[in-house]
Every structure is written in C-alpha cells, then in structure tokens.
Structure 1
Amino acid sequence: MHSSYFCLCFYVSLRREGYTVQVSVNDYLDIYCPHYNTSQRGTLERVVAEQYILYMVDYHGYRTCNTQKGSKRWECNRPHAPHAPIKFSEKFQRYSAFSLGYEFNVGKEYYYISTPTHHHHGHSCLRLRVFVCCSTVSQADEDSIQTPDYTVRPNIKIHNIDEFNPEVPKLEKSVSGSSPSRDRLLLTVAMLLVSAVLLS
C-alpha cells in the first residue's frame, strides 16, 4: 500500500489532455488543492485565487467536462488555508465499510474532473483518469488459500464446522458441604472425638 499524489497546480496539461495515474487496490491518491501563502494575498487581490469542485464522473462526463451525472467528491474552497494546502485522499478499495462508500474494481478506469468556481470559461475543466491496476492478492492466490482449520483445543482440529459434534463433558455439581476434602475433615474430627471419649 502506498500513496500517489495529484496537485491541481498542473493546470495547462490537465486542461488539454488530462492526466492518467495508475494505482493498485488499497492505494491512496492524495489530492492537493491550490494554496497561496499569506504573503501572496496582496498580489492576488487583482487576480482571483483558484478554487475548484472535484467530481467523479463517467467517461462521457470526463470527455465533455459534464458534471450532471457525476458525484461531488471534494471542494477546494480555502486557497489561503493556514500552514498548508488542503488535502483530500481517495482509497482505492474493493469493498467499503460504509453504505455510501466507493468501491473500485481491478482493471477498470475511474474519471475525475474539477471545475473552477473562481471563473467560468464554458465547458473547460481539469481531468484526471485513474486506472486500478492490480490487487495486492490475486484472485488465483485467493482461491489457493485454504480455509484454516477450526481449533477447539490443542491437538483437536475441525476440518468442516458443519460436521462438528462436540462431546459435552459431564458436569459435576459442587454442593456446599459435600466436597471430598470437607468430608474427610469431618471424618477425622469425628474419629478424634470418639478417641477422646474412649480414653476418658
């Protein structure tokens, strides 16, 4: 598992032909928003700072910069964030623990576009294509991995849980006053008392 990063600063090439990145399952892609130092504020008063909304779209939306069928993923709306640029991360996982989470399949491409909110030039956008290359464990490897034996206690293994029928051990109740050591103690005390009576 590793991280790739993508900065919305690659403005010209992203606008013309887009950018393609290859990831593996469980990799992270970090998206960095445009960031301006506070020292640049005076210069940027004449020029509006870049701000974008990022969408996940289908191939048609990617080619035409159309966000109508896309889903909004992130918003880069804090170009003067203190200390560092805003970063968003996408994890390319096959299964999501959340009902609204995204799941990504091996061998498929996913498309992202971002549209500027600081100005509008018709249908122009920044494009990113992500190809999910390969799984960390291949399907063949998954099939070859045997299901582990179930272990009840040391040296007893169950190969098929459906056929498991444990012997229920006999339970012995311990009733107060009937344990063998207590009975032995009472017998010893009784013998001592009888001996004392006979000797007197």
Structure 2
Amino acid sequence: MSQGRLGASHHGTETLAEVDAVAPRVCVERATLSALVEEGLSIRQIAERLDRSPTSVRHWLRRYGLKTDGRRGRRPVNEAERDGPQDARATCPHHGLTLHRWFDDRGYRCLRCRSMYVANRRREIKATLVEEAGGCCAVCGYSRCLRALSFHHVDPTTKAFGIALYGSARSLARAREEARKCVLLCSNCHAEVEAGVTSV
C-alpha cells in the first residue's frame, strides 16, 4: 500500500495529506476547539456543534495539537451526583476551581467554558456572515472592524429576528437565511440609513 507523507498506511487510517485535501479553508479558532475538548466531547459531537465534518475537526485538532478524551469532564466532582444540586463548584482543567452546572445530556460542565464557547461561536458566525455579505459596508466600503459592521433589513416586514442581538446565537443556517434579507452597513451608515439621511 502507498504511504502518506506522515508514513501512515491506508489500513483504515487517514493520512494528514488526505485530511488537508478535504479540510475546509474556514479556520476553526483554537480557543473554540479547546473549550469543546475540555468539555469532554467526542470528535463527532464537536463536528455537530460546529457544523463541520468529523474529518475537518480531526484536521484542526491535529493542527493545534489537541486530543479528545470522552472520559474528561463527565464528572468533575465525585460528590456531584445526578440527584444532587444543579450547580456545583469543581476544578475545570482550563479555568481551575469554578462553577459547574448539570446538563442532562452531558453531565456537569464548566460555565466559563460554555460561555467562552458561545462567545467564540458567535464571533465565528458573524465573521462568516460578513464575509458572505461582501466583507464591507455597502455604502462607504468600511471594513476595518468586524464589530462596527451590522446587518440592516431592507424590508423590515420580513424581519424574523435581529442578527446583531440573536442571529449569532442561532444556527448558521438560520442566520444565513436572515442575512439574505439584509444589507451590510457600518455603524455610521447604518445610523444614517435609519435616520433617512442615506438610502440603500
């Protein structure tokens, strides 16, 4: 059998060359991936969270030198049993002694890890939407700061939710659907459009 560039055979094992060939170009942030690993999620579970394929997740895990371990994080404290309190203080591998909360599908999880994951996920979704919308203000071309760009609904009657407030907390598919109703504007142009000074 032929050898991959890392010397791995094709007996059921992907070589890094094969992974690189199919891995998406959109980067997965290390902090996001690290937080999911610390939660003790499997590669398949991480893939579902990130809307990526397991192959893509393996690629970025290898790139960052991270490894999953399904046994980690399932029971951070021995005294925190299923019938115990919903919240418990326990040691997180990433944040040290901090508050954990029980989730029926995953057991106790560090709340700071979850918060970090959500924040990173929201930034990733907004970055994707901004890039797909052209990457700059449709009026003046501003593009320096992602936070200064927002989505303006061309027809307010079609608005299902505000992307700035709720869109990045939803699935990428739903956020994309809503973004198609919008035009990308910088903060200044958005204010002028809302005030009727500028039109789009």
Kindly indicate which of the two structures has a greater share of residues assigned to helix: 2
Pick the TM interval, shorter chain.
under 0.3
User: Larger RCO: Structure 1 or Structure 2 (Cα < 8 Å, ≥ 6 residues apart)?
Assistant: 1
TM norm structure 2: 0.21
TM norm structure 1: 0.21
Larger Rg, first or second structure (1 or 2): 1
Kindly indicate which of the two structures has a greater share of residues assigned to strand: 1
